[in-house]
Structure 1
Amino acid sequence: MKILLTGASGLLGASFAAAAQRRGHHVVGIVGAYSGKIPGVALTKTLDLTQLDQLEAFALELFPDAIVNCAAISEPKDCEADPQGSRLLNVALPEKLALLSRHLFATLIHISSEQVFDGTQELYFRDSPTSPTNEYARQKRESEEAVHSICAEFATTLRLPLLMGNSLGRDRSMHERLFAAWSQGQQTPLFTDEIRQPCHVENIASVMVELCERSDLKGVYHWAGEKSLSRFEMGQRIVRHFGLPEDLIIAAQRGDDPRFAHRQARLVFDLTPLASKLKTQPPCFSDQLDTLIVPRNAQAWYHSI
């Protein structure tokens, strides 16, 4: 299968490329400023994804069997700072990919987020009403609506949780950002009242490859890890896994700082509709920890502890 992958150098995109290659697929990855090698990508194309006419021309020439969209501006603060700019990647791009999917009769895998929910429910089902609380979440909801209104018969949207893993730049995932702070001598406050369901990108990538290979799983689905934990619990588990001092993290609550009081309290998914149909299963947190490595930029500090 020939797969067009946007966001190929990102945390999730790079993991998907490697997983797809292992399954024998030919991945053509689109990147922006990244110039390094991406394992699993057979051909790399440098392209500004806001230039939708150029993207369309390239996709029509390539004529892929599947399109996988991992490109996004995923930091809520960046979306709040530049709503119009972030909409180009978060809304206009998936809308264009949906049109291309319909034209090419190509499977489309679109990545969305747990953020489309407000965090007030114990458990979120795939048909639970969305209620975004920030600009990033509003854009993600709009992108879902656009994708499925344009090419419902070809599209699968996968809503994802907090991502774990090792990025190419070693600065994208939770543990990498924690190591960056710790290596600069910063203790890290983590919320005890913010519950998430983290999942390793390698596990998610396997799910995405299965979805590319299946024609019967269209629509919106949820995927996440097996267990929900508070951010503080995650930090504790990471610190212990790497044998680090536990005072590197500090227990905090969202209301302690007005900047974070609006953050969703609990984002936990019902995984049954998809997990019951796939070979890949949600991973436990200890297995996710076993794959993590110390980022290069923090190794000197780590070995000095």
Structure 2
Amino acid sequence: MKILITGSNGLLGQKLVKLLLDQGVDLVATACGTNRIDYLSTPFEYCELDITNQDQVNEVIGKYQPNAVIHTAAMTNVDQCEQEQAGCRKLNVDAVKYLVEACERHNVHLVHLSTDFIFDGEDGPYKEDDKANPISYYGQSKLDAEEIVKAAKCKWAILRTVLVYGITPGMSRSNIILWVKENLENGKSLKIVDDQWRTPTLAEDLAMGCFLTATKGAAGVFNISGEEMLTPFDMAKKTADYFDLDFSLVTKVDASTFSQPAKRPPKTGFILDKAKEVLGYQPHTFEEGIKILDQQVQRMGE
């Protein structure tokens, strides 16, 4: 089986490349610009791909003829999407249209990544068939993309996820665990939100969800996230407990303390019954996620 990944330089993309190589899958990694994964011992095929270029998308999928495309590339910074709506639309909607057309033309299974931000957060946690109602431009762009995928004349799956966290070598993007750890270790006080609920997702779990969907040829919409409903304050507490740090430095605040260009849904999170039953998906707990991250950071420091 051959799987092509878009956005292979991103956090999920890098985790997927490693997982697929470990599983012995024939892999084509694509991203905008040069390959940033230079730490794996197993060689793999890499191809530069600008997903906003329709001709390039069709040419690359036509050339490699994969059985499945796992589409991870997107503009995911919620505030950036609010402020740069034309760029967001190009990456999150137009590019999906090009991918769908290429997958239809070459009879490829498209596995598309989406988000909990298609919901307004008034009634979480959500099942796959709950009604979407985005409250940000990012959420709207991802919902528009879902509609394009659902109308596709090829086999398709939509994997919705929530607050993905993880780490890869050479990646500067932090996450709540490392941010809390670093600040508390340095004795800095933090204000952390306690009125937004999510089911945070370990990047390795999301990669496994993608792998299971593609290799099983599963179709339809699936929720792929963590299982525990937590606020950022809860996540900070679990982080401080794991690393034995002084949690008295953390102050509980509500979301109105911070002004952000894009609105955030108050309570999302997912019910995972379908993914467990159909895909055999089984996520790690948040504590297990912290431990995995800690071990990875230690290995990178060796």
TM-score, length-normalised on structure 2?
Answer: 0.89
CA distance in 2, matches of 1:35, 1:179: 30
CA distance in 1, matches of 2:58, 2:189: 46
CA contact (8 A) 1:200 1:225 kept: yes
CA distance in 2, matches of 1:183, 1:286: 19
Give how far 1:84 is off: 0.6
Q: SS at the partner of 1:110?
A: strand
* Matching residue within 54, 58, 61 for 1:59: 61
Q: SS at the partner of 1:292?
A: helix
CA distance in 2, matches of 1:289, 1:213: 28
CA distance in 2, matches of 1:80, 1:131: 16
Residue 257 of structure 2 corresponds to residue 278 of structure 1: no
Q: How large is the Cα RMSD of the aligned pairs?
A: 2.5
Closer, same or farther: CA 41–208 of 1 in aligned 2, 3 Å:
farther
Residue 195 of structure 2 corresponds to residue 207 of structure 1: no
Give how far 1:134 is off: 0.3
Q: SS at the partner of 1:159?
A: strand
CA contact (8 A) 1:11 1:172 kept: no
CA distance in 2, matches of 1:290, 1:102: 42
Residue 254 of structure 2 corresponds to residue 253 of structure 1: yes
Matches within 5 A, 1:156-235: 156-168=157-169, 169-178=171-180, 187-215=189-217, 217-235=218-236
Percent of paired sites with the same residue = 24
CA contact (8 A) 1:163 1:199 kept: yes
1:256-284 Cα deviation digits (max 9, x unpaired): 34448942111121211121122331221
Closer, same or farther: CA 177–31 of 1 in aligned 2, 3 Å:
farther
Give how far 1:187 is off: 3.7
CA contact (8 A) 2:3 2:27 kept: yes
Give how far 1:66 is off: 0.8
Partner of 2:241: 240
Give how far 1:176 is off: 4.0
CA contact (8 A) 1:90 1:140 kept: yes
- Amino acid corresponding to residue 157 of structure 2 in structure 1: T
CA distance in 2, matches of 1:253, 1:260: 16
Equivalent pairs, count:
296
- Amino acid corresponding to residue 269 of structure 1 in structure 2: F
Which runs of 5 or more residues in structure 1 are unaligned?
A: 301-305
Instruction: Answer with 107-116 or 259-268: which moved more.
Output: 259-268
CA distance in 1, matches of 2:255, 2:43: 40
CA distance in 1, matches of 2:259, 2:74: 27
Give how far 1:247 is off: 4.2
CA contact (8 A) 2:137 2:262 kept: no
Partner of 1:303: none
CA distance in 2, matches of 1:271, 1:287: 18
Give how far 1:81 is off: 1.3
Instruction: Answer with 280-289 or 108-117: which moved more.
Output: 280-289
Give how far 1:34 is off: 4.9
Give how far 1:213 is off: 1.1
Residue 141 of structure 2 corresponds to residue 139 of structure 1: yes
Partner of 1:292: 293
Matches within 5 A, 1:30-179: 30-37=30-37, 39=40, 42-151=44-153, 153-168=154-169, 169-178=171-180
CA distance in 2, matches of 1:86, 1:41: 33
Which runs of 5 or more residues in structure 2 are unaligned?
A: none
1:191-224 Cα deviation digits (max 9, x unpaired): 1111110111111111211111113x31111111
Closer, same or farther: CA 240–53 of 1 in aligned 2, 3 Å:
same
- Amino acid corresponding to residue 234 of structure 1 in structure 2: M
